[in-house]
Structure 1
Amino acid sequence: MRTDFNAVEIEIARNRLASIAEEVGMALIRTSYSPNIKDRRDCSAGIYGPDGELISQAEHIPLHLGLMPTLIANVITEYGAENLRPGDVLMTNNPYLGGSHLPDMCVITPIFVDGVIIALVATMAHHVDVGGITPGSMATHATEIYQEGVRVPPVRLFAAGELQRELLSLLLMNIRTADKTRGDLMTQVAANRLGERRILELVEEWGVAGFARSARALITYAERRTRAAISELPDGTGSFTDHLEHNGVDEEQIPITATVTVTGGEITIDLSASSGQVRGAVNCSYAVTRACAAYVVKMLADPTLPSNAGLMAPISVVTRPGSLVHAEFPAPVAHGNIQTAQRIVDAILGAFEAFTEGLVPAASSGSMSMVTVGGIDPRTGRYYSYVETYGGGQGAYPDADGASAVHTHMTNTRNTPCEVIEREYPLRVEAYEIARGTGGAGRSRGGDGLYRRLRLTHGEAIVVPGTSRVTTFPWGLDGGADGTPALVEVHRTAGSEQLPSLSRVDLEAGEGISIRTAGGGGYGKAE
């Protein structure tokens, strides 16, 4: 049996499998119901081995892509591969198994040949509501996971090809936007089935053994390349502490400390000195932290490294269970990936900066800056949920300015077009523009943030704005200026009021909310 593949064969296998993952993701996007997936593309897709080992991913959202291998491996272990049958489809959103937050539902389809699982295809998508104390299921002030929505253990949505209607009815009974959620779940199932067909077509061509050898060759190749890329980095150790400014309930300086050690072709990233888990919804799962580590290493060592299980082989991630970066039950986690993941990235980058030169960029806006607006539209009598993350300023590089009004680091979604917002929701977009001058000055200038202002046109709504860097600054490097902080305001008839970075407000028709995201830090002294 051949175990070696030449460079041409590896490249063919890599592209064949990547194209399947991309096709699965595009099918999900094109057939979804909610603007959050259809327009914003808040979803990801990948192909995995029978035990959950990552084989290939689409180029979607770094956070989803980085945590899905941990989640899927844990799901298969907990549910038991021996309990799966052809036609089964699993779903879960449990953050303590490796998920991110409850709106991110993962749907997993095992692929069988002659009664044996040869691979898994999985999609993750952010659903616009999964219950909880606020529309959109993104309450910042939740103090336990039960307030955030319906937590789904690994269960069969389909059993032997049959939809489990009672299970789905129970789930949808607890969700405000049941029609959108049902449609998006079925879209995930259909996209996975497309991936299953494509993989079986590949198996017809390569054979089961050939498919398995190709997957193993790709993982081995990725590990070899990753070790080689890491060995080009300077050996050394660095530590850095950055802070979140709000725990979701109260303003509080919450430390996230990263210590990075590079030795030869291996890296250890230790976040065990970070804060314990906090009262509000900014805690995150270990899988989120692991995703951040993988992202930073790929970003700094070689952005062209293949994204499969081989990438993580030389990377050790150390955390402390029960901490902000390794939350345990019943800690709330809704904004852990929205806020904390971005700060974990900043802390790891700061640690690398301590023993490298000209490698690390200045800090970016530091948040995915999510705004949710939800309630009952009096024109239809039905619940709606507007969910969107906003771009900000990218940190400058030694030789390049940062981009303006873009998603950075762990997020990679598009925006919701203004026309779609006004068609789908009782909202008017009164302003949507680049926040000029918010990027930090320097030899290379930080990118500017963005400004969006929404006004409620009908009824009443609950708004949950969540950003960061309102009371802190995206840091500059090598003499570059810090970026301008973010600003959140509620606009009422009597005037405007500034809000903290994480909050919840009630709006009546005619009132509005605005957010200006932070600018990126500058690099080097301005000449």
Structure 2
Amino acid sequence: MTLNPILLEVFKNRFSSIAEEMGMALMRTAYSPNIKERRDFSCALFDAEGEMVAQAAHIPVHLGSMPLSVQAAMAESMGPGDMVVLNDPFKGGTHLPDITLVAPVYAPGGDKPEFYVANRAHHADVGGMAAGSMPLSTSIFQEGVIIPPLKLVEAGRIDEKILRFFLNNVRTPQEREGDFSAQVMANMTGVRRAQELLAKYDPETVRFYARALNDYAETMTREAVARIPAGTYRFEDRLDGDGLGREDIAIRLELTADGGRVVLDFSASDDQVPGPVNAVRAITLSACLYVFRCLVRESIPANAGCLRPLEVITRPGSVVDALFPSAVAGGNVETSQRIVDVILGALAQALPETIPAASQGTMNNISIGGHDPRRDRPFAYYETLAGGMGASRHVPGASAVHAHMTNTLNTPVEALEYAYPFLVTEYSIRRGSGGAGRMPGGNGLVREIVLEAPAEVTVLAERRTRGPYGVQGGQTGAPGRNILIQDGVPTVMPGKFSTQVAAGDAVRVETPGGGGYGGHATESGQV
């Protein structure tokens, strides 16, 4: 079949529109503020081999790892109307709250799947030792219900036994059931739209252009990689700690560029740790895909072709390639951000005028759970908080935005106070927190929440002991701070903590600013 460049562009947009419409269906029908308001979900389309064809503009840490989940689900031999659910991080997942639902797409009259659609949504609670399922854990068994690939929907009917088993192990079953239903509807939307595409064009043509788009993404990524001067570049950055005594956990990268190919070797990174900041290999792949997709100047689909010019080397048992049953709740949200910082730090040596300073480098995870006296039922709140972006050669860093591996929105105060027994007493820009430079880093934000009922609070955050690095002489951004206010007395808390609070107590999170670009002396150990 001869490639038609006009049809290639048509299919690029048709494929991505399927994922985008799935996302709209999921957002509009979800129950939880975390999905409906923050949009903590992702949707994508995959080919018959489980390779990603197109994604919506959702969350990088979800999408780069999702192909491994799809391929694990494919082993369940799905027929028309079936859907497989899973959240196991050691089968392509990220952490347990991120639940993936996969559905096959059959052409009219077809006897095998032509494509798969999938969505991944962060559920605000999936059981485990702490409300919100983001605990200071030492094992994945403490983090919630582990779901292997299971057929949740068969021939269009939900398996009520599987659903009841899951709902019986979470703190907020009504909300979880509603979010599951939204995920099912999102996949039904994707299947319907993909089948319409297969009916309009014959399956062979649709398959041909799916492969062509992956090849096109590979070509454009190789061109971007070829602009990196040949050589080996090394960079190291550190996590503050695992919350359980391990501090200064190093992530080390040796990046070798050679024409249209790059080798990213993380094997010298520290061993996995007792606490929950371990990342599975799928997370590391996601971070690599994200950074190198960002290097491509042209508008291309983020698909499997973007990974082909990259060789990612990790050492099993390290903090960036953790082994079962290590604790991984924070690896998805915190370690993924540091992996991005390390890759950008190495690339800044090769492309000093292209690569920005470090952004906040954390997702500032906060979980609060308890009993809501207004509604007389349990509640589980989860949110990630925005911060400052790193400055670049051309522009200052943006303030109070989600950067890099997260792409969620900030939850409106009104939504929080409506859904939970909270009073938000401050939600503001953290002035002066961005690193100084010819182009200053963006500012973080401040969120202060007063609890109207006793609750359990867990915070998993990074960049509390050292700020995000600046580049080309720019200064570091201000580190973040966590403050617990009890009886009017503020106490600075560690970056990672879990505690019980009383009604009237407050939790205040001040997020890091981004690093600055140019114009000031470089701090030791930074670019």
Q: TM-score range, shorter-chain basis? A: over 0.9
The answer (yes or no) to whether the contact 2:436–2:515 under 8 Å persists in 1 is yes
Equivalent position to 1:428, from 423, 428, 432: 423
Equivalent position to 2:120, from 110, 117, 124: 124
Q: What is the TM-score when the length of structure 1 is the normalising length? A: 0.97
Alpha-carbon displacement from aligned partner over 1:240-291 (angstroms, at most 9, x marks no partner): 1100011132251100001111111111111111111100100111111000
Deviation at 1:87, TM superposition (A): 1.5
The answer (yes or no) to whether the contact 1:107–1:122 under 8 Å persists in 2 is yes
Aligned-partner Cα distance in 2 for 1:274–1:74: 27
Give the aligned partner of residue 516 of structure 1: 510
Once the two structures are overlaid, the 10-residue window that deviates more, 300-309 or 141-150, is: 300-309
Name the aligned partner's letter for residue 477 of structure 1: V
Aligned-partner Cα distance in 2 for 1:435–1:330: 38
Deviation at 1:309, TM superposition (A): 1.1
Name the aligned partner's letter for residue 492 of structure 1: Q
Deviation at 1:355, TM superposition (A): 2.7
Q: How does 1:453-464 map to 2 (within 5 A)?
A: 453-458=448-453, 460-464=454-458
The answer (yes or no) to whether the contact 1:489–1:497 under 8 Å persists in 2 is yes
Aligned-partner Cα distance in 2 for 1:473–1:265: 33
Aligned-partner Cα distance in 2 for 1:345–1:22: 25
The reply on whether 1:263 has 2:258 as its aligned counterpart is yes
Three-state SS of the structure 2 residue aligned to 1:8 is helix
Tell me, which stretches of 5 or more residues in structure 1 are unaligned?
A: none
Give the aligned partner of residue 91 of structure 1: 85
Three-state SS of the structure 2 residue aligned to 1:504 is strand
Name the aligned partner's letter for residue 266 of structure 2: L
The answer (yes or no) to whether the contact 1:108–1:192 under 8 Å persists in 2 is yes
The answer (yes or no) to whether the contact 2:22–2:43 under 8 Å persists in 1 is yes
Deviation at 1:71, TM superposition (A): 2.1
The answer (yes or no) to whether the contact 2:55–2:301 under 8 Å persists in 1 is no
Three-state SS of the structure 1 residue aligned to 2:64 is helix
Equivalent position to 2:500, from 480, 501, 506: 506
Give the aligned partner of residue 330 of structure 1: 325
Name the aligned partner's letter for residue 282 of structure 1: V
Give the aligned partner of residue 33 of structure 2: 35
Give the aligned partner of residue 378 of structure 2: 383
Q: How does 1:357-372 map to 2 (within 5 A)?
A: 357-372=352-367
Once the two structures are overlaid, the 10-residue window that deviates more, 229-238 or 194-203, is: 229-238
Three-state SS of the structure 1 residue aligned to 2:202 is helix
Name the aligned partner's letter for residue 93 of structure 1: N
Give the aligned partner of residue 156 of structure 1: 151
Aligned-partner Cα distance in 1 for 2:505–2:92: 39
The answer (yes or no) to whether the contact 1:142–1:248 under 8 Å persists in 2 is no
Aligned-partner Cα distance in 2 for 1:320–1:330: 16
Equivalent position to 1:207, from 202, 205, 216: 202
Name the aligned partner's letter for residue 243 of structure 2: G
Aligned-partner Cα distance in 2 for 1:402–1:279: 35
Alpha-carbon displacement from aligned partner over 1:473-508 (angstroms, at most 9, x marks no partner): 211112111111101000000511001111112110
Equivalent position to 2:274, from 279, 283, 290: 279
Equivalent position to 1:479, from 473, 484, 489: 473
The answer (yes or no) to whether the contact 2:224–2:295 under 8 Å persists in 1 is no
Aligned-partner Cα distance in 1 for 2:175–2:247: 36
Give the aligned partner of residue 137 of structure 1: 133
Name the aligned partner's letter for residue 135 of structure 1: A
CA RMSD across the alignment:
1.3
Alpha-carbon displacement from aligned partner over 1:170-201 (angstroms, at most 9, x marks no partner): 11000111111111111111110111111111
Deviation at 1:387, TM superposition (A): 0.9
Three-state SS of the structure 2 residue aligned to 1:443 is coil
Aligned-partner Cα distance in 2 for 1:12–1:291: 27
Three-state SS of the structure 2 residue aligned to 1:262 is strand
The reply on whether 1:446 has 2:444 as its aligned counterpart is no
Deviation at 1:466, TM superposition (A): 1.7
Deviation at 1:353, TM superposition (A): 1.9
Aligned-partner Cα distance in 2 for 1:361–1:303: 18
The answer (yes or no) to whether the contact 1:226–1:305 under 8 Å persists in 2 is no
Aligned-partner Cα distance in 2 for 1:147–1:29: 29
Aligned-partner Cα distance in 2 for 1:222–1:197: 26
The answer (yes or no) to whether the contact 1:259–1:348 under 8 Å persists in 2 is no
Identity %: 44
Name the aligned partner's letter for residue 355 of structure 2: V
Name the aligned partner's letter for residue 5 of structure 1: L
Deviation at 1:210, TM superposition (A): 1.3
Aligned-partner Cα distance in 2 for 1:36–1:412: 13
Alpha-carbon displacement from aligned partner over 1:448-490 (angstroms, at most 9, x marks no partner): 00001000012x1001112111111211112111111101000
Give the aligned partner of residue 53 of structure 1: 51
Three-state SS of the structure 1 residue aligned to 2:31 is coil
Deviation at 1:356, TM superposition (A): 2.7
The answer (yes or no) to whether the contact 2:357–2:392 under 8 Å persists in 1 is yes
The answer (yes or no) to whether the contact 2:434–2:514 under 8 Å persists in 1 is yes
Aligned-partner Cα distance in 2 for 1:395–1:84: 44
Alpha-carbon displacement from aligned partner over 1:365-392 (angstroms, at most 9, x marks no partner): 1101111111111233311111111111
Deviation at 1:208, TM superposition (A): 1.3
Aligned-partner Cα distance in 2 for 1:17–1:526: 46
Aligned-partner Cα distance in 2 for 1:235–1:302: 20
Aligned-partner Cα distance in 1 for 2:215–2:51: 12
Three-state SS of the structure 2 residue aligned to 1:354 is helix
Three-state SS of the structure 2 residue aligned to 1:241 is strand
The answer (yes or no) to whether the contact 1:352–1:360 under 8 Å persists in 2 is yes
Aligned-partner Cα distance in 2 for 1:183–1:5: 44
Deviation at 1:295, TM superposition (A): 0.8
Three-state SS of the structure 2 residue aligned to 1:518 is coil
Aligned-partner Cα distance in 2 for 1:520–1:176: 36
Aligned length in residues? 519
Deviation at 1:303, TM superposition (A): 6.3
Deviation at 1:304, TM superposition (A): 3.0
Q: How does 1:221-300 map to 2 (within 5 A)?
A: 221-300=216-295
Once the two structures are overlaid, the 10-residue window that deviates more, 261-270 or 300-309, is: 300-309
Aligned-partner Cα distance in 2 for 1:336–1:248: 12
Equivalent position to 1:64, from 62, 65, 68: 62
Deviation at 1:421, TM superposition (A): 0.6
The answer (yes or no) to whether the contact 2:124–2:382 under 8 Å persists in 1 is yes
Aligned-partner Cα distance in 1 for 2:86–2:367: 23
Aligned-partner Cα distance in 2 for 1:263–1:359: 18
Deviation at 1:513, TM superposition (A): 0.3
Aligned-partner Cα distance in 2 for 1:356–1:235: 11
Give the aligned partner of residue 4 of structure 2: 6
Give the aligned partner of residue 525 of structure 2: none
